[in-house]
Chain A
Amino acid sequence: MSELVQAHAVHRDDFGARLGMWLFLVTEMVLFGGLFIAYSYMRSTYPADFHHAGAELNATLGVTNTLVLLTSSLTVALSIVAIQRGDRLKSMAFLSASLLLGLTFLAIKATEWAAKFHHGLYPNAPHLATLPHGEQVFFGLYFTMTGLHGLHVIIGLGVLTYMLIQVARGRICQDRYVQLENAGLYWHLVDVIWIFLLPLFYLAA
């Protein structure tokens, strides 16, 4: 009897864990979905202003950041493959690469934001208030959406760091890696959302 209880106490359900993660990703998509609704409504209201405001953004930096983030997704996927093959060190190396790429993304993002602040293009800035309504809304949305995305990147970096520790301690190993897979799913979601943000803002001009 007590053995049965024990067996159920250590009961694991990797499929269930992944299902839970996918459901969580659905909530994340709906969360951003609210912002995408706001964006599409505002853009259809002020198409010309969005076109002008989009020209203020640096498309080169935007595309660079996209490549950085896509590469980081690849390295996360490779770290999962590595752990499946039992190669702990390789898995840790790929995870570290993802962390570095994530930090690079944030650094580029920070320089972009700093430039916008420098040009007085931030909410409540006196200069922004002189621009047409549509451009004000554009930058309101820009800071909200890239800001919320950036927050997800920061959370993702925290999660990946934790995964790195778990792999190092052997808690994630060849026959027990669903945690890492779920962390990877989250990181891919962050990536996918950015892929939508890029054309909506940087390529709006």
Chain B
Amino acid sequence: MSTQNTTLPPSYLVDTGSRKGLLAWLTSTDHKRIGLLYLGSMLTFFFVAVGLGLVMRLVQISPFEHLITAETYNALFTVHGVIMVFLFVVPGLPAVFGNFFLPILIGAKDVAFPRLNLASWYFYMAGATVVIIALFTGHGAPDTGWTFYVPFSLHTGTNVSLAVFGAFLLGFSSMLTGINFITTIHRLRAPGMRWFRMPLFCWALYSTAWVQILATPILAITLVLVILERVFGIGIFDPTKGGDPLLYEHLFWIYSHPAVYIMILPAMGAITEILPTFARRPVFGYKAIAYSSMAIAGVGSLVWAHHMFTSGLSQVAVMIFSLLTMIVAVPSAIKVFNWVSTLYKGSIDFQPPLLFALTFIFLFCIGGLTGVMLGALAVNVHVHDTYFVVGHFHYVMFGGTGMAFFAALLYWFPKMFGKMYSKKAIYASWFPIFIGFNMLYFTMLVLGVMGMPRRYFHHLPRFDTGHDIATVGSWILVLGLLMFFGTLVHALFKGEKAEDNPWGGVTLEWTIPSPPPQENFEEIPTITTEAYHFPQEEIG
């Protein structure tokens, strides 16, 4: 089509400026190209961390017990956590799909600050580079766990300062993205795109952006304090100088718990885009979903101390934080019920993105409900720092955010690249992903209840069976991931040309060509209807 119709503007994938090839990409301020820069770098880091996780699982079964030393094991779980949290899950959906689709979904040509947007990516890469340098220089990779708890992080000889500085830079990148998105949503909505006409992914990004700018600076200052403590010995966290290690835990979790919502809110937003498209129905309870995003962002900022129930908080504080933790489950549950109600009596078109969206709902429910269990003090004390916690947050981070990332990738892949993947191959990859995932992480939940502590290099013989099952599960899961991404890479080069609207979606991104032209819209659209306005509604 596009070859015949010469009036169509060139796609964003074509270099039209004076710069060509890689240089054109590295200097582009086009939000779509920046989204792809993030996608490429992020998936690279993701697979590195998957590899590290695979080794960690491997040494838990007897034939490979002596593959690595205990010190290396400590470095492995630290680096796995740092990469997954700071380089993949936190920036994940906003940086890739937010960058690519937020301007398109609200009918804009770009974000409010395109150059700042590119700068965010460079901050991200600088942070990632510093983290990677920290692994190979100094006295070895950090061995503190991704939480960098004092006092150990102040005294260990490993390269904590540099790794922490890398995380600081990554935080900066996240903050700048947040500022950019809020300004974009306030200023660049197309005519007629009222707040309550925005697709719900935009609402999710909006609430995420607020958490990003209100929580991330606390992490930044906390990490700066760790560096100052290590280099100059300022004594704020050091009990021998009158400081208090517990203060570190508070400051760290004041950021890092809201960060959980930075991770999950955009994921929920992406799911909310996918479900109505394949149910051919407007989303059920639009305003409830929009408000619940803001409610999660708000209440989620007040629950941080539930990570510290066993650290000697007062009983009153524990009860308050326990109650608030339970309350966060309410807006999350509102979303789940709305998603299910959206599907109810819909005209369901079962396609790969929907399969992964449903997988998200299922796995996220397990993650969420185990979270409520952990929020209850009695259970928390019993399973604190066990595999139950590890299983819980992998259900939320990977089963939640990870699966939503995959679902969003499947949903928007044809739009982003103009190519369609093999649906059969994606269905085939789903089975090992789903089976492997549950073998790996559900077993962890069980091991945790049995009393297996997290971050232990060796385990007692009575945990052998559980560890064997989990390790085999990790192999199946990785096999599925390879099939999944293999299919997408194949589609990139050999895939059939995708239609402009392969799923029958009604949001703005489906009204423009695949892949989108450089300026997104030839003419800024005027919005006259609510989001998710399906034509057959008018007939029926």
Please give, as numbers and ranges, the residues of chain A lying within 8 Å of B217 by CB-CB distance.
Answer: 27-28, 30-31, 33-34
A-B contacts, 17 of them at CB < 8 A, read A16-B112, A20-B113, A23-B182, A27-B217, A30-B215, A31-B218, A34-B222, A38-B251, A42-B236, A42-B244, A123-B232, A123-B235, A136-B241, A137-B241, A140-B236, A144-B234, A148-B224
A196 within 8 A of B: no
- Tell me the smallest distance from the CB of B218 to a CB of chain A, in Å: 5
B214 within 8 A of A: yes
How far is A5 from B235 in the complex, measured between Cα atoms in Å? 57
Q: Return the CB mask of A106-131 against B: 1 if under 8 Å, else 0.
A: 00000000000000000110000100
How far is A144 from B237 in the complex, measured between Cα atoms in Å? 13
How far is A132 from B236 in the complex, measured between Cα atoms in Å? 14
From A19, A33, A136, give the contact of B235 (CB < 8 A): A136
How far is A31 from B225 in the complex, measured between Cα atoms in Å? 11
Please give, as numbers and ranges, the residues of chain B lying within 8 Å of A123 by CB-CB distance.
Answer: 232-235
* A26 closest partner in B (C-beta): B213
Q: Return the CB mask of A1-40 against B: 1 if under 8 Å, else 0.
A: 1001100100001011001100110111011111101100
A46 within 8 A of B: yes
A8 touches B519 (CB 8 A): yes
How far is A134 from B188 in the complex, measured between Cα atoms in Å? 51
Given A33-B218, A140-B236, are A24 and B179 neighbors across the interface (CB < 8 Å)? Answer: yes
- Tell me the smallest distance from the CB of B258 to a CB of chain A, in Å: 11
- Tell me the smallest distance from the CB of B516 to a CB of chain A, in Å: 15
* B186 closest partner in A (C-beta): A19
How far is A144 from B243 in the complex, measured between Cα atoms in Å? 14
Please give, as numbers and ranges, the residues of chain B lying within 8 Å of A171 by CB-CB distance.
Answer: none
From A20, A26, A38, A136, give the contact of B214 (CB < 8 A): A26
* B246 closest partner in A (C-beta): A41
B243 touches A137 (CB 8 A): yes
How far is A31 from B109 in the complex, measured between Cα atoms in Å? 32
How far is A20 from B181 in the complex, measured between Cα atoms in Å? 10
* B523 closest partner in A (C-beta): A4
Given A13-B187, A16-B112, are A30 and B236 neighbors across the interface (CB < 8 Å)? Answer: no
B158 within 8 A of A: no
Please give, as numbers and ranges, the residues of chain A lying within 8 Å of B178 by CB-CB distance.
Answer: 23
How far is A136 from B243 in the complex, measured between Cα atoms in Å? 9
- Tell me whether chain B's interface is mostly helix, strand or loop, or mixed: helix
B247 touches A41 (CB 8 A): yes
From A20, A136, A143, give the contact of B112 (CB < 8 A): A20
How far is A34 from B253 in the complex, measured between Cα atoms in Å? 12
Give residues 123-164 of A contacting B (CB, 8 Å). 123-124, 129, 132-134, 136-137, 140-141, 143-144, 148
Among A5, A26, A27, A42: residue with most chain B CB under 10 A = A27
Given A20-B180, A144-B234, are A13 and B112 neighbors across the interface (CB < 8 Å)? Answer: yes
B213 touches A34 (CB 8 A): no
How far is A42 from B250 in the complex, measured between Cα atoms in Å? 13
B90 within 8 A of A: no
B242 touches A137 (CB 8 A): yes
A144 touches B236 (CB 8 A): yes
Binding site for B on A (CB under 8 A): 1, 4-5, 8, 13, 15-16, 19-20, 23-24, 26-28, 30-35, 37-38, 41-42, 45-46, 49, 123-124, 129, 132-134, 136-137, 140-141, 143-144, 148
B187 touches A144 (CB 8 A): no
Binding site for A on B (CB under 8 A): 109, 112-113, 116, 175, 178-180, 182-183, 186-188, 213-218, 220-222, 224-225, 228, 232-236, 241-244, 247, 250-251, 254, 519, 522-523
* A124 closest partner in B (C-beta): B233
From A13, A24, A37, A133, give the contact of B242 (CB < 8 A): A133
Q: Which 5 A-B pairs have the closest CB atoms?
A: A133-B242, A140-B234, A34-B221, A31-B217, A30-B217
- Tell me the smallest distance from the CB of A8 to a CB of chain B, in Å: 6
Please give, as numbers and ranges, the residues of chain A lying within 8 Å of B522 by CB-CB distance.
Answer: 1
Given A23-B213, A46-B242, are A16 and B236 neighbors across the interface (CB < 8 Å)? Answer: no
How far is A33 from B250 in the complex, measured between Cα atoms in Å? 13
Please give, as numbers and ranges, the residues of chain B lying within 8 Å of A137 by CB-CB distance.
Answer: 235-236, 241-243
* A143 closest partner in B (C-beta): B234
Given A24-B179, A38-B236, A123-B235, are A136 and B221 neighbors across the interface (CB < 8 Å)? Answer: no
* B233 closest partner in A (C-beta): A124
From A5, A20, A33, give the contact of B519 (CB < 8 A): A5
B214 touches A30 (CB 8 A): yes
How far is A123 from B242 in the complex, measured between Cα atoms in Å? 12
From B218, B225, B523, give the contact of A30 (CB < 8 A): B218
Please give, as numbers and ranges, the residues of chain A lying within 8 Å of B186 by CB-CB distance.
Answer: 16, 19
- Tell me the smallest distance from the CB of B301 to a CB of chain A, in Å: 11
How far is A20 from B116 in the complex, measured between Cα atoms in Å? 11
How far is A5 from B218 in the complex, measured between Cα atoms in Å? 41
Please give, as numbers and ranges, the residues of chain B lying within 8 Å of A13 by CB-CB distance.
Answer: 112, 187
Please give, as numbers and ranges, the residues of chain A lying within 8 Å of B188 by CB-CB distance.
Answer: 16
Given A15-B187, A19-B183, A20-B179, are A140 and B235 neighbors across the interface (CB < 8 Å)? Answer: yes
- Tell me the smallest distance from the CB of A125 to a CB of chain B, in Å: 9
A140 touches B243 (CB 8 A): yes
From A27, A33, A45, A133, give the contact of B213 (CB < 8 A): A27
Please give, as numbers and ranges, the residues of chain B lying within 8 Å of A28 by CB-CB distance.
Answer: 217
Please give, as numbers and ranges, the residues of chain A lying within 8 Å of B213 by CB-CB distance.
Answer: 23, 26-27, 30
Please give, as numbers and ranges, the residues of chain A lying within 8 Å of B254 by CB-CB distance.
Answer: 34
B519 touches A136 (CB 8 A): no
Please give, as numbers and ranges, the residues of chain B lying within 8 Å of A5 by CB-CB distance.
Answer: 519
6 new A-B contacts, CB < 8 A, other than A30-B215, A37-B251, A41-B244, are A23-B182, A42-B242, A46-B242, A132-B242, A144-B234, A144-B236
- Tell me the smallest distance from the CB of A46 to a CB of chain B, in Å: 7
Among A24, A33, A143, A144: residue with most chain B CB under 10 A = A144
Please give, as numbers and ranges, the residues of chain B lying within 8 Å of A4 by CB-CB distance.
Answer: 523
Please give, as numbers and ranges, the residues of chain A lying within 8 Å of B221 by CB-CB distance.
Answer: 31-32, 34-35
Please give, as numbers and ranges, the residues of chain B lying within 8 Å of A143 by CB-CB distance.
Answer: 232, 234
A136 touches B218 (CB 8 A): no
- Tell me the smallest distance from the CB of B450 to a CB of chain A, in Å: 38
Please give, as numbers and ranges, the residues of chain B lying within 8 Å of A144 by CB-CB distance.
Answer: 225, 228, 234, 236
A16 touches B187 (CB 8 A): yes
How far is A1 from B521 in the complex, measured between Cα atoms in Å? 11
How far is A98 from B70 in the complex, measured between Cα atoms in Å? 57
* A23 closest partner in B (C-beta): B179
Please give, as numbers and ranges, the residues of chain B lying within 8 Å of A33 by CB-CB distance.
Answer: 217-218
How far is A33 from B180 in the complex, measured between Cα atoms in Å? 22
* B248 closest partner in A (C-beta): A38
* B181 closest partner in A (C-beta): A23
Please give, as numbers and ranges, the residues of chain B lying within 8 Å of A45 by CB-CB distance.
Answer: 244
* A125 closest partner in B (C-beta): B233
